[in-house]
């Protein structure tokens, strides 16, 4: 049997929603799991670029053996029904850039899990898939939208369950994703975060997250402008994302811009704006980053309403 799953990229946090807000975007990885016929061949994992050549950067950051996050996810699923994975060939066809804050690791975890679940005859329901994916990833804000699509508010509860609700993204607002030409690993980006924060900062974010949900539900530009701020992670990550402070500064007076936030752990940034003047916004970002010798790929994307989809089953 051979199963292929297409999984969207994701942008997490969206400013105030550290580890609990995430959104699916229309860039995809395809994960294929194939049963191999030769007994004792174990699990083989390959990562390929769009043009089907091996991706060196991916190979460097995603171990291709039992330490691989895909292997861990698949193994947890097999273990949950008392089995161990073997005789499997796993291939990742990669379009989501790695180490850019766009959920590439979440996508391979989710794709591996959903393909393996199909192969095994669906032992895991959505709740179980969310729990396993979150256990491997460490936080639910990328894996949840990768599984269910759309914009989600998601929480890992103490008992290991992931509870989420979808929010309806207003069509009036654009999402512009700016991907710089340097990488930042999530582990490094999380290592600079303090274990404890001041009460004022916790209250600041609690207010912003509540504003975010209300602003999205009522399409309130003014509230969204206040909501898209953060004191729990972005200030600490600024030094890892050269150019972010200047971009925020240079966009401050653009009246169509509602906010400029780090995408997940960075280094990509996401600009939420009204639909006018997108080209001007792109030019400002491009010029600001280029002045610091950073090349940038800028895409205005719709939200991806669908989560991971099985695209081939043979
Ligand atoms: N919420 C996570 C973080 C997303 O900010 O570290 C990273 O993928």
Return the pLDDT at 45.
80
Q: Measured between alpha carbons, how far is 251 from 287 in angstroms, rounded to an integer?
A: 12
Contact 29, 107 (CB under 8 A): yes
Output the CA 101–ligand 1 centroid distance in Å: 8
Tell me how many degrees the CA angle 184-205-276 measures, rounded to the nearest 5.
Answer: 70
| List of domains in the chain | 2-167+303-313 (3.30.230.10), 173-301 (3.30.70.890)
Q: How many CB atoms lie within 10 A of CB 100?
A: 23
Tell me how many degrees the CA angle 137-101-209 measures, rounded to the nearest 5.
Answer: 80
Which alpha helices (H) appear in 140-253, and where do they start and end?
A: 140-148, 186-191, 199-218, 221-227, 234-237, 244-251
Return the pLDDT at 62.
59
Q: Whose CA is nearest to atom 8 of ligand 1?
A: 264
Return the pLDDT at 222.
97
- Could you list the mean pLDDT of each consecutive 10-residue stretch along the chain, which spans 314 residues? 96 98 97 82 75 57 67 93 88 91 95 96 97 96 98 96 97 97 91 97 98 98 97 96 93 94 96 93 96 95 98 86
pTM above 0.85, yes or no: yes
Output the CA 238–ligand 1 centroid distance in Å: 14
Return the pLDDT at 43.
78
Q: Measured between alpha carbons, how far is 22 from 137 in angstroms, rounded to an integer?
A: 14
Q: Measured between alpha carbons, how far is 107 from 94 in angstroms, rounded to an integer?
A: 10
Output the CA 174–ligand 1 centroid distance in Å: 22
Q: Is the beta carbon of 19 within 6 A of some atom in ligand 1?
A: yes
Return the pLDDT at 40.
65
Return the pLDDT at 13.
98
Return the pLDDT at 276.
85
């Amino acid at each position: 049997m051979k199963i292929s799953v297409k999984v969207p990229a994701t942008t997490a946090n969206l400013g105030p929603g550290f580890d609990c807000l995430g959104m699916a975007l229309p860039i995809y990885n395809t994960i294929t799991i194939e049963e191999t016929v030769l007994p004792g061949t174990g699990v083989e994992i390959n990562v390929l670029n769009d043009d089907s050549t091996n991706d060196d950067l991916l190979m460097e950051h995603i171990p291709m053996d039992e330490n691989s996050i895909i292997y861990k996810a698949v193994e947890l699923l097999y273990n949950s029904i008392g089995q161990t994975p073997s005789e499997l060939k796993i291939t990742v066809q990669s379009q989501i850039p790695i180490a850019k804050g766009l959920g590439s690791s979440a996508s391979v975890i989710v794709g591996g899990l959903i393909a393996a679940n199909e192969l095994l005859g669906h032992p895991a329901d959505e709740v179980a898939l969310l729990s396993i994916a979150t256990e491997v990833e460490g936080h639910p804000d990328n894996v949840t939208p990768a599984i269910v699509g759309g914009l989600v508010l998601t929480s890992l509860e103490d008992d290991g369950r992931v509870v989420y609700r979808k929010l309806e993204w207003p069509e009036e607002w654009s999402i512009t994703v700016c991907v710089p030409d340097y990488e930042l690993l999530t582990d490094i980006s999380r290592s600079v975060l303090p274990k404890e924060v001041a009460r004022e900062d916790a209250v600041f974010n609690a207010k912003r997250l509540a504003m975010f949900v209300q602003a999205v539900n009522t399409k309130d530009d003014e509230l969204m402008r206040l909501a898209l701020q953060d004191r729990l992670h972005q200030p600490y990550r600024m030094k890892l994302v050269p150019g972010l402070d200047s971009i925020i500064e240079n966009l401050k007076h653009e009246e169509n811009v509602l906010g400029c936030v780090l995408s997940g752990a960075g280094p990509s940034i996401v600009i939420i704006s009204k639909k006018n003047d997108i080209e001007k916004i792109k030019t400002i970002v491009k010029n600001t980053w280029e002045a610091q010798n950073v090349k940038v790929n800028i895409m205005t994307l719709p939200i991806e309403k669908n989560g991971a989809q099985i695209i081939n089953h043979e």
